[in-house]
Structure 1
Amino acid sequence: MCLSKIEDLEKILDQLGLTEYERKIYIALYTSGPLTASEVGDITGIPKFNVYPTLKRLVLKKFLDDQPVSRGSKYKPVPPSKVIQDLQAELKIQQEKEQANLKEIATRISKFDFAEDELIGASPSDAIWLINSEVRIKKAILELLVKAEKSLIICLPLTLEIREEVLKALQKLSKKKGSKFQLFLNWELQEGTEDEKIAKVIANNGGNVYQWGIGELPFSAFLIDNTEGLIILQSVWIPHPKFGLALWLRHPSYLHPFEKLIERFGESGIFRKWS
């Protein structure tokens, strides 16, 4: 057999998962015919204490046939095409067995099924996320706005850089049927401004818009669907206010206190309803 053919065969055997010694022995038998274990050791140079266990493994893997003779056994290679046929047959049996097992498990596990939203914040490590980058905070705000379906409570400070972006997103969201929107602004709406136009759209679609009447709100809030939200804390006041730290609350139990706090703001008259 030419060298290139032997090299090709060795690559195939390697792909089939044979070890170096297993490949050497199979190729030796393929090129020399049936041999005893002692002859295999002489031809391959593999230590005799490794030859016997390797031959046994190849017989178990159905790469070799074990032929009893007067003194021990002789081993001959199984044709490669037969090896592949046997492997395919075993694989098919294994796949059928695994499919049957999976079907049985699927039937048994169905009684443990649950809705994904039942697990929001189930793990303490997932219930609250800390975000300390302005870029990530802005991204998180817009992600929440897109996710909102039923309700949205927002306390929006004057200093938030993406104020216009948030208001425009709210303008689209307020048109969703059956949605409840409350917007608390940390500034007074001026007649004829873009902010006022957006506020009118929100109000005309059933949303409530409130204006901050006293002082400044030291945090902003984006709370959606009574399930999760962002609380953004004002970390720097001078020379310009900045919001560099946020808590992403991912469980209703952490969200409700902030909803109540904002509700109290409204009841106290600190916010004035805009119309």
Structure 2
Amino acid sequence: MLSTKKMITPLLELGLNKYEAKVYLTLVGEGTSTAKNISDITGIPYGKVYEIINSLSSKGFSTTLPTKPMKCKAVSPKKAIKKAKDNMEEKYENLEKHVLEKLEPMFTESKKFKEPKGAFWIINGRSNVVKKIEELIQKAEKNINIHCSANSLSRLIWHKELLKEAKQKGVNINITGVINKEIKEEIKSLDFCDIRKTKKSENNYISIDNKKSIVIEPIPDDDNFKYGRDLGIWVSSESFTKFMDDFFKKKFTKARKIFPSSQK
């Protein structure tokens, strides 16, 4: 099997998760393989292998063959990388379109009468994104809303002391995240927050006092606190932040509370 750390890391940055990277490397090394063979080599549960194969196929990294039992094979790295590149470019184009559709009209309108109240900035790199998150938490006076993936929720634990200080100042901290058994154990140290379980999260979102917010795409979405090519869009606009908070509140209200005894 080819799953050395050196080979897995670039695949994570192309948008695969750790299991997908392991299965793809197995297929590259084995050629055509069955789900059972992949499970035996990688140690990934047999039932989960089918889910991973389907995901790899949708991302353009593998193809399935109409055999019994079902077999699959890797798409060539050259073709797979091109597909991943096309997907990432499309994602950035959609993100750019969405942000500009919401912010450009506000900017144009406000310029007619006075200096703009809001603006947005691009923040590159996980360490810079982390600094901005810490700054937002420290400036919060009334509430902090956070929506994140499982690994991002794991990284949030590093901000525990700042979040505690905010809580002691009377700030309400509301969090929705993707929560599995492992993460649930980890986040017990954040039980002073109102944490609720959501099914899916591709990007992360943090806002304070319905005034300022940051939308983050973690690249890759792992539990490393410092290193990553994250893309953050920091927005200092009350109208945009309130717009995003409305979506957050809808998800938060419907989500199941993880620590019933936590107090807002």
The normalised TM-score by structure 1 is: 0.45
Q: In terms of Rg, which structure is larger?
A: 1
The normalised TM-score by structure 2 is: 0.47
Work out which structure has the larger RCO, using CA pairs closer than 8 Å and 6 or more positions apart in sequence. Answer: 2
